[in-house]
Amino acid sequence: MFITRECDYAARVLRALSAETRLSVNEICEKESITAPFAYKILKKLQKAGIVKGYRGVHGGYAMNKSMTELTLFDVYSAIDPDLFIIECMASGYECPVDGRGDHLPCYMHRELCEIQQGVWKMLKRKNLQEVFAPEN
């Protein structure tokens, strides 16, 4: 599936962190109903992407490293899953077994899916996380 549970939980982790200056993994898990091993895995990826900042020690935990207005769902999802494609043939380097080879015609389906892929990315980039988590009523 395109948007995995891990991607969804990453957005929820950021939602929890957005309201606080710093939270422990246990506090994040409690607020968002996520298991600790899953939260650690997600936070590691978010930290690697520079989205969150980790603190060690007794008063350690995690905090936002970027503001919610700087981030989109695309940023979050691609930090978790860099191969954010609707289908595997969208990935660079993928060699289609039928596209223009031998008696096969060019793969027009691929062209259509590329347009859909671009549309999905555009939609994920259209609002920042502040707008997603606290829309104006």
pTM of the model: 0.84
DSSP string, 64-118: ESS-TTT-BHHHHHHHH-S---SSGGGSTT---SSTTSTTPPP-HHHHHHHHHHH
**Average pLDDT score over residue span 20-48:** 95
> Which residue would you say has higher pLDDT here, 91 or 70?
70
State yes or no: pLDDT of 40 exceeds 80. yes
Q: Mind listing the pLDDT tens digit for each residue in 59-79?
A: 889 999 999 999 999 999 999
87 and 113 Cβ atoms separated by less than 8 Å: yes
How many domains, the chain?
A: 1
Q: What is the CATH number of the domain that holds 85?
A: 1.10.10.10
**Average pLDDT score over residue span 13-17:** 96
> Domain containing 67: what range?
5-133
Taking the CA atoms of 10, 12, 15 and 16 in sequence, report the sign of the dihedral they define: negative
What does the alpha-carbon distance between residue 101 and residue 112 come to, in Å, rounded to a whole number?
19
